[in-house]
Structure 1
Amino acid sequence: MVQATKNGAESVKKQNRTALPVPQRSAALTHLDPLQRYLSEVGQFGLLSPEEEHRLAVEFQRTQDPGVAYQLVTANLRLVVKIAMEHRSYYQNVLDLIQEGNIGLMQAVKHFDPYRGVRLPSYAQWWIRAYIYKFILENFSLVKIGTTQAQRKLFFRLKKEQNRLLREGFTPDSRLLAERIDVSEKDVVEMQKRLAGPESSLQAENPSTGHTLEDILAGPGDSPETLVADEDLRRRVRAVMNEFRATLDERERLIWDARFSDEDTQTFQTIGESAGITRQRVQQLDQRLRERFRAFLLERIPEASGRLI
């Protein structure tokens, strides 16, 4: 039932959808429905500690050993289940979503760089969601929305342009919409008919996330490489913040901790009462600290300009 492949890296390259070997099944599992049985099977795979995950990821990057890839994949199958369950309102067969998510997980293992300072589950989420979203888009209706570039552009922009025309005081008829989206009027009419059908569930809100799948699919999203780069930059910035804090005097450190810690930020008034100074004075010191830290940070990490500060 586990939808991945024991030959890890080899199957990732071939994009196969064959099954991972299943742990020995007890007699009690035979009476469960397929999803329950799958969840029971996945539960038999152990999780990896950060150290184990790093060691295996380094080994796989060096050797491309399918057995090592298998360990990395099976240790993260629970993550695929979690993400698939978040999207079950868009597609009835959760096992299909899990299967696609598992293929995304294998792609993540293939591309994962263990030296970037990010855990595999954090990196893999992008790949898992990408494969699940693509599968839903292609299969949510018997009359598919379409997967060509023109069809996807029309699908993603139709509702947005309708709302924009309404805000501008125009009636969003098919002719105006076609001009705005740069497609034929016939294509607009056809898409409106499809979306008016009973299977327009892509526009229904997911109670788990508060977003519609249409919103999610239309968003450009960051690539996993961008996400990893951002996380690496944040980690370096946090180190510089600690270094900067060590240069502050006692009163400055009080304001710094109150305004820049991971806890809830305190108000200028509250800080002033603690430090025995006025609210206005705290605000002045806060501004000076920000300016000093910006210069301190950019001296050490120039690429942080315009990104995190």
Structure 2
Amino acid sequence: MTMTSTNALALRDPWALVPPIGNLDAYITAVNRIPLLTPEEEGEFARQLRDKDDVQAAGRLVLSHLRLVVSVSRQYLGYGLPQGDLIQEGNVGLMKAVRRFDPEQGVRLVSYALHWIKAEIHEYILKNWRMVKVATTKAQRKLFFNLRSMKQTLKSKSGDQSFRATLTPDEVATMARDLNVKPEEVVEMETRLSGGDVAFEPQGDEGEETFAPIAYLADDTQEPTRVLEARGRDWLGSDGIAHALDQLDPRSRRIVEERWLKVNDDSSGGMTLHELAADYGVSAERIRQIEVAAMKKMRKALEAA
């Protein structure tokens, strides 16, 4: 597409120039080709938005500054968040700036929007990054977003270009003084920023089980179904069995107890069918039938309990 055809398309439907942000490379290429507005055009569109609430004018102002959001988003890639997400949040800040922009103040929209773009990206990072619980006060947020650049500046001033993962005591004291925080907070922030993230669940699909924290941090003993199952087993092993045995006649109860609930001194188990048959003067088959009937009756009693 030539520049002439691009300008013509921008006049008819400016948003048609912007592809979905899911294809990040195509999106960045497209927004960099969108024509910039002259100061006169910017002022005219801003007045149309302010005076007539012209949505099309607002769209022209937003589109011409999308490349600014892309540029700002690159400054925050070190926090491990997708650039596409950073751009989307920055675009929200840009739209807020366009809505509040007053062309009579004598400043260009690019200068006014910069604050709003960065503010939205900052909030997004603080809400989604692993350090959010540490960066709670205004001073800690300032430390969070300036630690890397301040560390590099201090190294440059000292002439030390070697890689060091930690700060020296003098560097810690300097940062704490400049940012109005405690030295301990600088050390804690540096430690956490230097640490790597560990995925809680297995990453990728390699066809093999991956040993991730979820495999050894989960406490299965407190899982609700496990707790209920354990309680059920405990009840069956004590009160449940006693309740079921109470439903039997004396002979059936003794047969069940002798066969399944008693252990001889030699650990060989309870009485055999033949031993019980001899004791009651019946056949072993009759004892087995009584045992089967007693077991069915006990199961029904347990199910009904």
- Superposition TM-score, scaled by structure 2 size: 0.42
Higher relative contact order, structure no. (Cα contacts within 8 Å, ≥ 6 residues apart): 1
Larger fraction in helix: 2
Larger radius of gyration: 2
- Superposition TM-score, scaled by structure 1 size: 0.41
